[in-house]
């Protein structure tokens, strides 16, 4: 019997419908090739896996980040008991390759990008001789594999996701992206990105997340600094990179006009109004921006000195809105410099700055970050345990017992910070405030969609992440399941199977 290849996205909570397609599942499905038939794709944010379906000799690929590693290990152990080959990949497996053997019954681990190396790992498993480690390194933008969108299940996702660039030149202390994906941005060519988007629009996806580490990899400041160097090679390289961004946005603008895009960028893009205008023309209507903190002390805490604070911050965030880009502002609570008034000041700033969506996250030392290294090196943290597991490996602690904050705060209790964070979510997403913000769209149908997606976002991310009460988490997940189904219908368009690739040739004046 031909073995089957499984690709699994573990999750301890399922919503029946998910907002964004987990792109890596479909990229690795493409990387698997056709030798063993179509891979079986399991996204547990939709439904739990049926472990009984796994047979002896199957190859089970499990992609883990720190948040779902524990659930991933449960699946891996069960799959191995059933006689399958178990291979881990993803950011967490890259950072802790030994842990997947210790806790997840692994046969192998794939470090780094799986695009090119995954197929070899599968073949070796099928041949019965997997290597313990496959190092995929960082593949170049030209080698990123387009996803197998033909394998997407019907009616499960609201937004599709396409990657245009990997890597981020910044070095924020709470983020691991610049260390795992590197600081040198790796851009995909325009034709490959547009090819995937056209395929997705043919299937009826009109909302696309450009799932990039940082969509704005070259700032005006970077260009100015490179321009001051005697050797201009770096300047030319950055100029080419920037030019390619504009070419991509020009191509996006040529796609069907019901399409809407969303991405992640740094706040410095507000200075670059030519870039913002190109985003608006490309219908990149929203961007996740890490505001993190609203005070200079808070920004220093997270090495994000390139952000602004106070009135300048409000002005910068408003600039996005003026140029037609809505902001999903991300804020961190629990920083050493936070005080009781910081919570209210943050909520007030979010309202003043015309932010359309916001998320308020608790400072968590995630592996791969500078914050984690400093925190995990402290003997008192190594000695603190929950059920015998040191908090320096907090992802191994059962979800319901896992602390919500890990670092004692100089002036506030951890519970106080958690409650105030929950209040910030409650306030920002109150019916009154959400309805007020819904005037960013015109028709009643669009306003209803806006309200529902705002409420859904809050249920999925605030109530299932910050709440300590498991009954509340379950109720939220059930509620989210109900509205997610209704909301999805508002995001999906009529399929366009006949849609052609747009002409990607540069305009005549550019050629000349």
* Rounded alpha-carbon distances, angstroms, from residue 457 to 11, 13, 471: 17, 15, 19
The reply to whether 298 sits near ligand SF4 by the rule CB under 6 A is no
Which residue, 172 or 362, is less far from ligand SF4 as judged by CB? Answer: 172
Q: Which of 10, 63, 130, 290 binds ligand SF4 (CB under 6 A)?
A: 290
Q: How far is the CB of 289 from ligand SF4 (least distance, A)?
A: 9
Q: Does 213 bind ligand SF4 (CB under 6 A)?
A: yes
Q: Using the rule CB under 6 A, which residue among 30, 162, 177, 325 binds ligand SF4?
A: 177
Distance CA(328)–CA(512), nearest Å, equals 40
Structural tokens at position 388: 């015998």
- Name which of 108 and 219 has its Cβ closer to ligand SF4: 219
Nearer to ligand SF4, 29 or 172 (CB): 172
Under the criterion CB under 6 A, does residue 172 sit at the interface with ligand SF4? Answer: yes
Q: How far is the CB of 179 from ligand SF4 (least distance, A)?
A: 9
Q: Does 22 bind ligand SF4 (CB under 6 A)?
A: no
Residue 107 or residue 245: which is nearer to ligand SF4 going by CB?
245
CA dist., res. 459 & res. 462, Å (int): 6
**CA dist 505 to 201, 261, 342, 438, 499, Å?**
21, 22, 50, 38, 18
Judged by beta carbon, residue 194 or residue 325, the one nearer ligand SF4 is 325
Q: CA 352, CA 12: separation in Å to the nearest integer?
A: 36
**Number of chain residues interacting with ligand SF4 (CB under 6 A):** 11
Residue 21 as a binder of ligand SF4 (CB under 6 A): the answer is no
Nearer to ligand SF4, 170 or 326 (CB): 170
Phi, psi of 340 (to 5 degrees): -55, -40
Look-up of token digits 């919570």:
343
DSSP secondary structure of 60-116: EEEE--GGGHHHHHHHHHHHHHTT-EEEEESHHHHH-TTHHHHHH--SEEEES--TT
Q: Is the dihedral of CA 343, 285, 444, 489 positive or negative?
A: negative
Q: How far is the CB of 170 from ligand SF4 (least distance, A)?
A: 4
Shortest Å distance, C-beta 327 to ligand SF4: 14
Using CB atoms within 10 Å of the CB of residue 336, give its burial: 0 to 12 exposed, 13 to 18 middle, 19+ buried.
middle
Sign of CA dihedral 28, 187, 171, 356: negative
Is there binding between residue 168 and ligand SF4 (CB under 6 A)? yes
Token pair 């608006």 in the structure block, residue: 280
- For position 178 contacting ligand SF4 by CB under 6 A, the verdict is yes
Which of positions 316-355 make contact with ligand SF4 (CB under 6 A)? Answer: none
What ranges in 377-501 are assigned the alpha helix state H? 379-383, 414-428, 431-437, 444-458, 470-491
Asked whether position 29 contacts ligand SF4 by CB under 6 A, the answer is no
In the complex, least distance from residue 209 CB atom to ligand SF4, rounded to whole angstroms: 15
Reading the block at residue 321, the tokens are 């809105």
261-280 residues in contact with ligand SF4 (CB under 6 A) are 266
Nearer to ligand SF4, 178 or 406 (CB): 178
Rule CB under 6 A: is residue 196 a binding residue for ligand SF4?
A: no
CA dihedral 384, 96, 61, 30 (to 10 degrees): 130
Q: Smallest gap, in angstroms, from Cβ of residue 172 to ligand SF4?
A: 3
Q: Which is nearer to ligand SF4, 208 or 267 (CB)?
A: 267
Could you list the residues that contact ligand SF4 (CB under 6 A)? 168, 170-172, 175, 177-178, 213-214, 266, 290
């Amino acid at each position: 019997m031909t073995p089957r290849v499984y690709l699994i996205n573990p999750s301890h909570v399922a919503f029946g419908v998910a907002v964004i397609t987990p792109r890596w599942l479909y990229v690795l499905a493409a990387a698997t090739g056709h030798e063993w038939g179509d891979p079986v794709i399991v996204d547990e944010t939709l439904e739990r896996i049926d472990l009984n379906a796994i047979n002896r000799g199957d190859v089970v690929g499990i992609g883990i980040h720190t948040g779902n590693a524990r659930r991933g290990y449960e699946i891996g152990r069960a799959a191995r008991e059933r006689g399958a080959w178990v291979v881990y990949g993803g950011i967490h497996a890259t950072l802790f390759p030994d842990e997947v053997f210790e806790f997840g019954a692994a046969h192998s681990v794939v470090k780094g990008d799986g695009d090119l190396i995954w197929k070899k790992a599968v073949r070796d498993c099928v041949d019965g001789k997997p290597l313990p480690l496959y190092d995929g390194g960082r593949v170049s933008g030209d080698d990123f594999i387009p996803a197998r969108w033909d394998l997407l299940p019907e009616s499960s996702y609201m937004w599709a996701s396409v990657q245009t660039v990997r890597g981020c030149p910044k070095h924020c202390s709470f983020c691991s992206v610049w260390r795992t994906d590197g600081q040198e941005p790796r851009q995909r060519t325009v034709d490959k990105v547009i090819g995937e988007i056209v395929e997705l629009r043919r299937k009826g996806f009109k909302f696309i997340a450009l799932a990039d580490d940082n969509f704005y990899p070259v700032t005006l400041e970077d260009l100015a600094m490179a321009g001051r160097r005697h050797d201009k090679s770096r300047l030319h390289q950055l100029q080419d990179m920037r030019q390619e961004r504009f070419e991509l946005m020009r191509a996006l603008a040529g796609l069907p006009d019901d399409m809407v895009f969303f991405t992640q960028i740094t706040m410095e893009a507000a200075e670059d109004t030519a870039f913002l205008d190109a985003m608006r023309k490309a219908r990149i209507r929203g961007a996740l921006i890490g505001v993190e903190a609203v005070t200079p002390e808070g920004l220093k805490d997270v090495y994000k000195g390139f952000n602004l604070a106070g009135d300048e911050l409000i002005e910068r965030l408003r600039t996005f809105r003026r140029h037609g880009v809505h902001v999903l502002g991300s804020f961190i609570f629990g920083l050493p410099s936070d005080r009781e008034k910081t919570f209210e000041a943050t909520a007030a700033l979010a309202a003043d700055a015309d932010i359309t969506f916001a998320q308020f996250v608790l400072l968590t030392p995630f592996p791969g970050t500078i914050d984690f290294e400093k925190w995990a090196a402290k003997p008192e943290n190594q000695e603190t345990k929950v059920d015998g597991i040191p908090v320096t490996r907090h992802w191994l602690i059962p979800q319901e017992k896992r602390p919500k904050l890990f670092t004692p705060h100089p002036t506030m209790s951890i519970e106080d910070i958690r409650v105030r964070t929950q209040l910030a979510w409650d306030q920002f997403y109150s019916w009154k405030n959400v309805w007020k913000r819904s005037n960013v769209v015109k028709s009643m149908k669009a306003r209803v969609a806006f309200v529902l997606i705002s409420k859904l976002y809050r249920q999925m991310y605030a109530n299932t992440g910050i709440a300590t009460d498991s009954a509340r988490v379950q109720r939220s997940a059930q509620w989210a399941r109900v509205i997610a189904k209704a909301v999805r219908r508002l995001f999906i368009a009529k399929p366009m199977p006949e849609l052609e690739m747009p002409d990607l040739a540069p305009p005549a004046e550019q050629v000349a």
